[in-house]
Amino acid sequence: MLYWLEKQDLGKAKVNYKLRDWLFSRQRYWGEPFPVIHWEDGEISVLSDSELPLFLPQLEKYQPGENGESPLSNAGEWLNITDKNGRKGRRETNTMPQWAGSCWYYLRYIDPHNTKEPFSKEKEKYWMPVDLYIGGAEHAVLHLLYSRFWHKVLFDLGIVSTNEPYTKLFNQGMILAFAYENMAGSKVPSDDVEEKNGKFVSKTTGEELNQIVAKMSKNP
């Protein structure tokens, strides 16, 4: 069909990559803080290397701020800063998602006790790339894609010695198992389930349950 359309000058084949922007911030407390400062004169700057790492502050409450901002907006002493010239600034209150850590954890694992740098060049050259990556279907379009992008940026910066982070991907497929849920659709732990007269009921409440097939494709 594509050949015919092109021959009739009615259309042509085209590859459409379904790429989307990566929203790399969250309005929550847990997560890596962005080393970014918003100054009162409108300038936005990042912390210098000597000011890193930036740690999350201890909070008395973890609810959002009064204006709906991230919980970090409650960290007054940590949040508001003044530079040596008296200019006032405010730290970024959003945090990075869990992807920030999971995109390079395999690199940290090769040198986990290093307090001076993420990992030594000698150990990186010895251990990398990863021989085998085991993951489910969602890893190919989520974590594998993001960590690969992250790794290639590090390669361009000369921080890692390999262009690719993983040598081989093994997809173990779906893991299936029976699960149980009540009439409201809430899952019930399997150890709280018993079979009576051909029906499944909750040991705790006696409520009749539905047996369903659950699936998971995370790493084993």
- 51-69 pLDDT tens trace: 998 999 999 989 998 888 9
Specify if 184 maps to a domain: yes
pTM of the model: 0.65
Q: Last residue of a domain, which of 97, 115, 131?
A: 97
Work out the pLDDT band at 174, boundaries 50, 70, 90: low
Whole-number pLDDT of residue 166: 93
Quick one: 54 and 119 in the same domain?
no
* Residue 72, CA atoms < 13 Å, CB-side half-sphere: 22
Quick one: 202 and 161 in the same domain?
no
Phi, psi of 69 (to 5 degrees): -70, 175
Quick one: 76 and 52 in the same domain?
yes
Quick one: 38 and 56 in the same domain?
yes
Whole-number pLDDT of residue 220: 42
Mind listing the pLDDT tens digit for each residue in 104-133? 999 999 999 999 999 999 999 999 999 998
Work out the pLDDT band at 35, boundaries 50, 70, 90: very high
Is the C-alpha dihedral spanning 122, 128, 131, 132 positive or negative?
positive
Specify if 47 maps to a domain: yes
Quick one: 166 and 189 in the same domain?
no
Whole-number pLDDT of residue 158: 96
* Residue recorded with tokens 């803080």: 33
User: What spatial distance separates the first Cα and last Cα of the chain, rounded to whole Å?
Assistant: 43
Residue pair 129/160 in contact (Cβ under 8 Å)? The answer is: no
Quick one: 59 and 109 in the same domain?
no
Angle at 138 between CA 133 and CA 140, to 5 degrees: 50
Whole-number pLDDT of residue 169: 84
Whole-number pLDDT of residue 36: 98
Quick one: 114 and 159 in the same domain?
yes
Quick one: 198 and 154 in the same domain?
no
Quick one: 146 and 104 in the same domain?
yes
From residue 93, give the alpha-carbon distance in Å to each of 31, 36, 68, 133: 11, 9, 11, 34
Residue 171: pLDDT over 80: no
Specify if 103 maps to a domain: yes
Residue 194: pLDDT over 90: yes
* Residue recorded with tokens 């969602």: 138
Q: What is the mean pLDDT of residues 149-161?
A: 96
Specify if 91 maps to a domain: yes
Residue 150: pLDDT over 50: yes
Work out the pLDDT band at 186, boundaries 50, 70, 90: very high
Mean pLDDT of the chain: 89
Q: What is the mean pLDDT of residues 39-43?
A: 97
- Count of domains observed in the chain: 3
Paired strand residues for 88: 82
Q: Last residue of a domain, which of 58, 82, 97?
A: 97
Residue 189: pLDDT over 70: yes
Whole-number pLDDT of residue 54: 94
Parent domain of 44 = 17-97
Quick one: 88 and 125 in the same domain?
no
Q: What percent of the chain has pLDDT over 70?
A: 94
Quick one: 123 and 58 in the same domain?
no
Whole-number pLDDT of residue 145: 82
